[in-house]
Copies of this chain bind each other. A is one copy, B any other.
Amino acid sequence: MTPRTEGRTMHSPPHQHGHSPNGTAQHGHDHSRTPHQARSVALHRAAVTELLAPLLAQGRTETLALGDALGKGLAHDVPAPLSLPPFANSQMDGFAVTSADLPDGGAELRVVDPVPAGAVPAALDRGTAAPIMTGAMLPAGADAVVPVERAVPDRFPAPGEPNTVWLPATAAGTFVRSAGSDIAVGERALAAGTFLGPAQLGLLAALGIAEVTVRRPLTVLLATTGDEVLEPGQPLPAGKIYDSNGTLLESAMRQAGLAVVRTAIASDRPEELRALLRSHAGAVDLMVTTGGVSKGAYEVVRQAMEGQAAEFLHVAMQPGGPQGIGTFDGVPFLGFPGNPVSCLVSFEMFLRPVLAELFGSPAPRIPVRARLGHSLSSPEHKHQVRRGTLQGDGTVRLEGGESSHLMHALAGSNALVHVPAGVSALAEGDEVEVWML
């Protein structure tokens, strides 16, 4: 498990300062920095955006059948190639009529042949009513539908049998879905960057579109580090712990639509980690490490990144303060801290929202307002991210404490609870922003 340092001033070694890949976001007069010189959450997210944005410019798209596009981000705007509905149709099972045939008090109309769905019906003669099923095309001349249960008798006559029906007065347009009432031909159906979930793919299908161009997902190298960390499934010597970061982050990344390459757990020898990263550098879009980014005596990731265009800094966030960012041999690199909760919070606060924004996949977390089930305190200069369970009554119960080693509490949570910088205490019942996991 890797050092996590809370509430300390982080001084990057001087040789790391000249290499920032992030330009002004990381340097210069940064008035949003806290008294501890930590970078704000917003600024670090902007730095991650700047790091990954060039990948978007590289024409990383592919064209897929609808069935393969679930969970991807749309590459281009899609205009509607036809209107929806394509033609005026009935909203009810009933009688298609010309509304002018039905004065106040209603009228008796002759019933003509029914309109089958999928056919182009004959024009409706004045003084007649055509049985019509929901979704069937309105005959030319008809401008309204009277639901069958308002007719007398309230049923359809047997087909072919001559018959009449009494129908009440009905305004033009009643129970008619007009052509283009959902979307008109040429209108933008979906915008570039839209996450393609069931509804979006269903809309494309309704528009007759069978293939869609999406942004190709990134391939991420995920390397967990630490001499003290073992893969699950083997005996645990005293002093060692099992690696949960690899499983946690790989799952979160895959759930977010990324392709993940997992390395074996890296040792605490910087030259070994460097060789490991180098062996994958040509095949991945992004490298993510866990652990070894803080200011302890043995910080393998910091050491392995020496000479690279990367910096290590403290974000004004709890947990997940220590962060690394830059490039390794030109490949974008993010160094998350080593505690599992810190890892997940780092992913949710920095990588996931940037992927959603830049690539349209994963779907963004929607901020939800909830009432705190407890009072809490929070370090005033940090954005605190607590874990909690949103209840049916709109309150959120905190799970576990502030500490970043509480995996069991995290596994029992369904939400992240945000306490922004500048807030040091909240009372029970106060409204907070919550992200559903």
Contact = CB atoms under 8 A, between A and B. Distances in A.
Given A92-B6, A137-B239, A233-B208, A203 B244 contact: yes
Contact of A177 (B135, B200, B236, B403): B403
A195 to B, nearest CB: 10
B198 A248 contact: yes
Nearest to A80: B408
A119 B239 contact: yes
A213 to B, nearest CB: 15
A190 B296 contact: no
A64 to B, nearest CB: 13
Interface string A243-273: 1111111111011000000000000100000
Interface stretch (A19-27, A302-310, A327-335, A361-369): A361-369
Interface string A411-434: 101110000000000000001000
Given A202-B411, A255-B198, A298-B117, A436 B437 contact: no
Given A405-B182, A407-B84, A116 B298 contact: yes
A414 B194 CA distance: 12
A205 interface: yes
Nearest to A90: B3
A210 B13 CA distance: 39
B250 A67 contact: yes
A366 B183 CA distance: 31
Contacts of A2: 117, 134-135
Contacts of A9: 149
A242 interface: yes
B248 A199 contact: yes
Given A93-B296, A201-B247, A232-B209, A120 B67 contact: no
Interface stretch (A55-63, A96-104, A160-168, A223-231): A223-231
A205 B242 contact: yes
Contacts of A250: 67
A204 interface: yes
Contact of A135 (B71, B119, B211, B228): B228
A286 interface: no
Contact of A294 (B87, B134, B392): B134
A410 B228 contact: no
A133 interface: yes
A354 interface: no
B367 A232 contact: no
A143 to B, nearest CB: 18
B226 A208 contact: no
Nearest to A406: B182
Contacts of A413: 199
A117 B228 contact: yes
Nearest to A71: B255
A80 B242 CA distance: 13
Given A1-B135, A366-B436, 13 more contacts: A3-B93, A116-B298, A118-B228, A177-B405, A181-B406, A197-B437, A199-B248, A203-B411, A205-B247, A206-B340, A207-B232, A366-B390, A369-B394
14 contacts: A67-B247, A86-B236, A133-B298, A135-B228, A135-B405, A198-B248, A199-B344, A200-B411, A202-B248, A205-B244, A208-B233, A210-B231, A366-B436, A394-B431
Interface of A: 1-9, 66-67, 70-71, 80, 82, 84-87, 89, 91-93, 114, 116-121, 131, 133-137, 147, 149, 156, 159, 177, 181-183, 189-190, 197-211, 226-234, 236, 238-252, 254-255, 268, 294-298, 338-340, 344, 366-370, 390, 392-394, 400, 403, 405-411, 413-415, 431, 436-437
A-B CB proximity, top 10 nearest: A118-B228, A210-B233, A202-B248, A1-B135, A369-B394, A206-B244, A198-B251, A205-B247, A3-B134, A198-B252
